[in-house]
Every structure is written in structure tokens, then in C-alpha cells.
Amino acid sequence: QSFKLLGFLDVKSVPCARESVLYGSLGSLVVGLGHFLATSRVRRSCDFAVGGFICTMLGYWFYCRYNLAQHRIRQRMLKEGMRNKILFEGSSLDPERKQTSSERSDS
């Protein structure tokens, strides 16, 4: 069963959504409670808590999505490298294969 935040963000299936909401709520608690302890103004502390939630959630969202994109790029490069290794292994195009003296004279 999926959990939809605000009716459209499926927290269970969207990458980084769950962690962003959790870190956002923690940031909200820290900022709101910190502002309340510093000023003792309840309404203003709630405003700061909402702002802390939004800033923390968006900050972690972009950080997580950037790392996810980097991971996918590295994974695609590794997959292509493995495919090329299998494809060229043992052929004259193999970079790890040492050329013998007869192959050097042919080329």
C-alpha cells in the first residue's frame, strides 16, 4: 500500500522522497524548538518550523537526487565497460592483451 503526501507524491515509490520527508520533519522540529527556546514566541516558532521543514526537505531532496544521478551514471559506465571487456576479450582490440613479435610485424 502506498502513502501519498499532499495527494500526489507517492513516498514509497519515488526515490529519495521518504528520506527527504523524514529529514524535513527532523529539521522542522530542530528549527522550531530552537527558535521557541530562544524567543518563547509560539506563533513565530511555528512559522520557523514550517520554513525549516521546507528548506531541509528540499535541500536533502536535491542532494539525494544528485547522488542518485551520479550513481546511475557510474553504473551505466561500469555496465558498458563490462560489456566491452566481454566483447573484446581475446581479440586484437583487447587493451590488456600483450602483442607478440609476430603480431607487431603484421601491423
For residue range 85-94, what is the model confidence (pLDDT) as tens digits? 877 777 777 7
* Predicted pLDDT of residue 5: 67
* Predicted pLDDT of residue 89: 75
Q: What is the DSSP letter of 14?
A: S
Indicate the pTM of the whole model: 0.69
CA 34 to chain CA centroid, Å, is 29
Q: pLDDT (tens digit, 9 = 90+) per residue, 70-104?
A: 999 999 999 998 888 877 777 777 767 766 545 55
